[in-house]
Amino acid sequence: MSEDAIAAKSWPLAARAPGKCILFGEHAIVYGKPELVLAIDLYAQMGIREASSLSLNGDRRPLEHNPYLRAGVDHFGAAAIPLELRVTSRIPRAAGLGSSAAFCANLATAFSAAAGGCSRAELHQRSFLIERSAQGVGSPGDTAAAVAGGYLALNDSAGAPLWEITDGDRQWDVHRIGDPGWIWVVAYSGVPRNTADAVRRVAERLAAPDGPRLLDELEEVAHEGISAVEHEDRARVGALLTRNQGILRQLGVSHPRLEALIDALGPATEGVKLTGAGAGGSVVGLPKVGREQECVRSVAHAGGLAFIVRPAREGAQLIGAPS
């Protein structure tokens, strides 16, 4: 697991960071409630070297097209530095699987190394502020996973304290949770979605009379889910995933394509739910032992793309220079 500092290094640089899936507590985390997030072994890689002008995968006006890059270069005061960035990724974009957090973590890792290095806590704070500034909303769960790897609980007393993250007067505690050694399935619906739109939609829904009750239920499920993972109780985790999905449905962030994937995965999993902002994107399920390939086939029949994933042990890392 990654708790080491980022060393000082000069250009050219390359970094690699994992994607993530949220197991419990998406949306509720925005309101200071608990969340359990898992860094998954789908990675994005970024190579950066000095060049005659700024470009991203050949795009010579990337700041106009990529708000995350804009936020990153603004954060590091680096807009004037001509750099060539190359990104390759196994994480589907706009799928709720952490591609933007991995992008921000890679950018922060490379720029922090070029600026003299930093602690891992500082790397996380930087990655989060870049993502938040680009999205305008959100919590640090995704960037915590991209930077730290493994299972992480936010705003819950379980596990070992790792970091406290602040944004103005808001604060989140990040704790490391032990790995129960399980294999997970995530499946992308092919329907892209926008985190900020979904967060705004949920804010409107929570303003309804039953909003506080829904938020309380999300909180309870997340606390129980974190405890169930800690106790390696697969059946309980499965039941809680299903219960969490029921609440997300009431919040209005499910989608017919997600429901089709959930139905397809039902028989071969202990439980399954949407993961991330919803309204499209992906689902996550805990396959029954030995039935992972059945999950892949069922998802394909339902028109989705499944990945069998394990925890990413490493968070964002420098991985040597691009040639």
Interface residues toward ligand PMV, by CB under 6 A: 22, 26-27, 29-30, 96, 138-139, 141-142, 195, 198-199, 276-277, 281
Find the shortest distance in angstroms from Cβ 12 to ligand PMV. 30
Contacts of 100 (CB under 8 A, 6+ apart): 68, 93, 131, 134, 135, 142
Find the shortest distance in angstroms from Cβ 138 to ligand PMV. 3
Q: Which is nearer to ligand PMV, 271 or 280 (CB)?
A: 280
Find the shortest distance in angstroms from Cβ 314 to ligand PMV. 20
Cβ count near 323 (within 10 Å):
7
**For residues 113-135, b (16+ Cβ closer than 10 Å) or e, as one string?**
bbeeebebbebbbbbbbbbbbbb
Q: Which is nearer to ligand PMV, 38 or 48 (CB)?
A: 38
Find the shortest distance in angstroms from Cβ 322 to ligand PMV. 28
Residue whose CB is nearest to ligand PMV in the complex, by number: 276
Find the shortest distance in angstroms from Cβ 235 to ligand PMV. 26
Q: Which is nearer to ligand PMV, 30 or 36 (CB)?
A: 30
Q: Which is nearer to ligand PMV, 13 or 245 (CB)?
A: 245
Find the shortest distance in angstroms from Cβ 25 to ligand PMV. 8
Q: Which is nearer to ligand PMV, 58 or 256 (CB)?
A: 256
Q: Which is nearer to ligand PMV, 29 or 302 (CB)?
A: 29
Find the shortest distance in angstroms from Cβ 30 to ligand PMV. 5
Q: Which is nearer to ligand PMV, 12 or 225 (CB)?
A: 225
Rounded Cα distance between 323 and 318, Å, is: 14
Q: Which is nearer to ligand PMV, 26 or 84 (CB)?
A: 26
Rounded Cα distance between 271 and 284, Å, is: 9
Find the shortest distance in angstroms from Cβ 172 to ligand PMV. 10
